[in-house]
Structure 1
């Protein structure tokens, strides 16, 4: 996310200097394609490269140091790298987000999963994997959850869970029952707003796939939408796509049970399990 923030600012500075890609690239001893990749966050750039760009774009004052600091931050390895995840993983984006709007269909949101439930979901979704890799994936999920109760690096979660996910037994009945109890406890967190979309709603516009919206209020960056599916994932940044996702999420929340009624339903299912 820091690389994207840096890329966006570098592009603005070039345009403010009145230079096209084709005009600026040769002056930096780069190809236009390389400069384009940097401005689209597809390629990293070091501090020396950024200094050359700032010189060319005649940037002065506080902006100079702010951009250089951002460049240094963009090159730092995220904590998730130690667990085998790349810089372009969803975790890297969520780590910089201030709020997550999440709609899930088939299972409980990752940010609200117990360790055993997460292990069962990951093992089934990813297929055969080493014990170490599975443990790493579960560890990452649990580390992400710490932000829901953190005062230093908080994360606000607003989630709508399809009722079907609450009936689906993942792992075994004991794991399922423990997961329902965990949802009841998590719903009481100040940073969590949990609603259940009841089956009685019938057909609706979000039946095809789950989706997530990430907000970056502290960074001043626009929202992005993320869709995870059976064969991979899709990151969406176009304003029209993200706006549609926001409208759809608002509709899901209006159709869902209230937070209090949602907890009551989960408690009933927990008692039956």
Structure 2
């Protein structure tokens, strides 16, 4: 199982903790920098998670800020984790990619408007979506992306590092035969099975809702649980994707998701609808 490390989330947490220790010790960036033989800009980038901090510098900072004991052990371990390469780097993805953030998350809230969420897709369904995308891919690139998606899905089955998924799926996505009839049937069967996982809560937003809070596009909210990092929102659209981190924007995303939950069928009813749609094929 791929470990939760290497993304910018770990750097952000480390930077925030180091900033808190610096301020508690009474140092400004300007007074700390010469004592650490570092530039003010470098320390600032470390504190905001934009730059990695090597273990030796972190040790010097802990010494300067007189932070021993638990702080010493915890932050050195965090610095080492933040310096490791995330598993996704081998696939050409960076720490600031969506996958980099999801790797650190403990829960994903997702509303999927036109297609099944990536964490619940079967490989042939993913292939059909990639083939239909305006972004040109070689066969090898497509297979690499399918493999990344498969690796991400493993956390739904993990006991050591589970990822919880609360997904709301638009009714139209159930009926859209992405990849043809055989793939469509396999995808619906997989959805019905995945909905029974203890890590997955799946609801279907039935047709005929009229105007509702998320007609424009699907979106996701990532939550980081034990890491203590603020939630972030992510929205994919026809021209790309947008990462949202400002609290008002993330709060709005959570509010929209909660509103959709009240409009969607309950999980048991949603599984029954999936079963009925599959039976009509």
What range describes the TM-score normalised by the shorter chain of this pair?
over 0.9
Q: Is the 8 A contact 2:213 2:259 kept in 1?
A: no
What is the CA distance between 1:164 and its match in structure 2?
1.8
Choose from 258, 264, 268 the match for 2:266: 258
Q: Tell me, what secondary structure is at the counterpart of 2:223?
A: strand
SS in 2 for 1:189: coil
Is contact 2:170-2:206 (8 Å) kept?
yes
Residue matched to 2:138: 130
Alignment partner, residue 112 of structure 1 = 120
- Residue of 108, 111, 127 corresponding to 1:103: 111
Partner of 2:129: 121
Partner SS state of residue 166, structure 1:
helix
Whole-angstrom CA distance in 2 between matches of 1:15 and 1:125: 48
Compute the displacement of 1:233 (Å).
Answer: 2.5
SS of 2:214's equivalent? Answer: coil
For residues 187-243 of structure 1, the C-alpha deviation after alignment (integer angstroms, 9 at most, x for no partner) is 111111100111211111211221111122222222222222233322222332222
Map 1:236-247 to 2 at 5 A.
Answer: 236-247=244-255
CA distance, structure 2, for counterparts of residue 189 and residue 84 of structure 1 = 30
CA distance in 2, matches of 1:17, 1:100: 37
Q: 1:16 aligns with which of 24, 27, 36?
A: 24
Matched, 1:75 2:108: no
Q: Match for 1:221 among 200, 222, 229?
A: 229
What is residue 173 of structure 1 aligned with on the other side? Answer: 181
Moved more, 95-104 or 126-135: 126-135
Q: Does 1:204 align with 2:212?
A: yes
Contact 1:78/1:92 (<8 A) preserved: yes
Cα distance per residue 1:19-78 (max 9 Å; x no partner): 222332333333322222111111111112212222222212220121111000001111
Residue 185 of structure 1 is matched in structure 2 by: 193
Indicate which of 41, 47, 54 corresponds to 1:46: 54
Corresponding residue of 1:268: 276
Q: Distance in 2 between matches of 1:235 and 1:23?
A: 34
What does residue 101 of structure 2 align with? 93
- Bigger drift between 251-260 and 55-64 goes to 55-64
> 1:84·1:136 contact (CA, 8 Å) conserved in 2?
no
Shift of 1:7: 1.6
Give the superposed CA RMSD: 1.6
Distance 2:118 2:74 in 1: 34
Structure 2 contact 217–235 (Cα < 8 Å) conserved: yes
Q: Does 1:155 align with 2:163?
A: yes
Runs of 5+ unmatched residues, structure 1: none
Give the Å deviation of 1:126: 5.5
SS of the residue corresponding to residue 201 of structure 1 reads coil
SS in 2 for 1:18: coil
